[in-house]
Amino acid sequence: TRGRFGSDGDFVPVEHEREDGLATVRWAREQPWCSGRVGVFGVSYLGLTAWAAVGACGEGELQAAVPVATTARVRSVLVQPGGAFSLELVVLWVTLVFQLLLLRRPDEMLRAAREMWSSSWWSRAKYISPLSSLDRLLLGRDWDFFQQAVAAEEEDDEFWRGRDALCELRPGRRAAADGPPPPLHLVAGWHDFFAASQLADFELASRAQPACRLTVTPHDHWGMASLRGLQVAVRAGLSTFDAHLGDGGPAWGGTGRAWPPLRGVDSRPAIERALPGQGCFL
């Protein structure tokens, strides 16, 4: 993303993702090594960038997308029904992105994480008051993006326009010229704070795109980075890309929408579910 690691520019969350996603897809399609068929894949914040590319691209520009542990709309995750701020998500994400990931060596990241958890940092963060002072505790300074987000209490606030819906899936909101979204395979964690939003994304996307699948694993958000979580996500990504970017061969596990085949499953896009603690698909 813009302004992260070796990328030029300044990183502002969900500020430039649609613009940059569209530019990246069009750049890839123009390369001599590209067949002209492009798919996007991303976990967590990079899943937001995947949704942003889907939302910005016109019909036929993108052939597949696999968003993992993420959502097409940002505000519904940051602000809970009733207006409560998702404090755990904000604290952990800001710490990860603006502190831990700036450290180049894995051992430095682990050491810094252990020091944070062993200090009173988390206790102070989860009981912070007023909420607008959280950025000073975490970053040692006022952060304009955070201050504006806290102040933007309503969904139609100017701050959320252009930031909330990275990909508009609601009926009547997506421009007719854009057509339906490309084939999708959403991968969610049942205990993830993105879970409810991802289920809503699947429900809306499957109405517009018959080639829409959903896999739910028994993980929370951070568990998606475990070996099992990554295996499921990569498996879903490769199978989707094999099916829609290549010669159209069958995806992993067979040609049906659900794998293993389920008795009594109707023709609707299948939901693949995993039982918590068992790590197996139904």
pTM exceeding the 0.75 threshold for the entire prediction: yes
Dihedrals φ, ψ of 146, to 5°? -65, -45
Of 5-14, 30-39, 131-140, the least confident? 5-14
> Is a pLDDT exceeding 50 seen at residue 282?
no
User: What whole-number percentage of the chain has pLDDT above 70?
Assistant: 84
**pLDDT band at residue 21 using 50, 70 and 90 as cut-offs:** very high
Lowest mean pLDDT among 101-105, 173-177, 185-189, 230-234: 173-177
pLDDT tens digits for range 32-60: 999 999 999 999 999 999 999 999 999 99
pLDDT, position 267: 37
Mean pLDDT rounded to a whole number for the chain: 81
In tens, the pLDDT along 166-177 reads 999 988 776 655
Mean pLDDT across 237-251:
77
DSSP string, the chain: -TTSTT--S---TTTSHHHHHHHHHHHHHHSTT--S--EEEEETHHHHHHHHHHHHS-TTT--EEEEES--SBSHHHHB-TTS-B-HHHHHHHHHHHHTGGG-SSHHHHHHHHHHHHHSSHHHHHHT-SSGGGHHHHHHSS--HHHHHHHH--STTSGGGTTTSBSS--STTTS-GGG-SPPPEEEEEETTSTTHHHHHHHHHHHHHH-SSEEEEEES--TGGGGSHHHHHHHHHHHHHHHHHHHSS----TT-SSSSSS--TT--SSPPEEEB-TTT--B-
Q: Is the pLDDT confidence value at 201 over 80?
A: yes
Segment 25-32 mean pLDDT: 95
pLDDT band at 259 (very low <50, low <70, confident <90, very high): very low
Q: CA angle 68-71-76, nearest 5°?
A: 150
pLDDT of residue 175: 64
Bigger pLDDT: 182 vs 102: 182
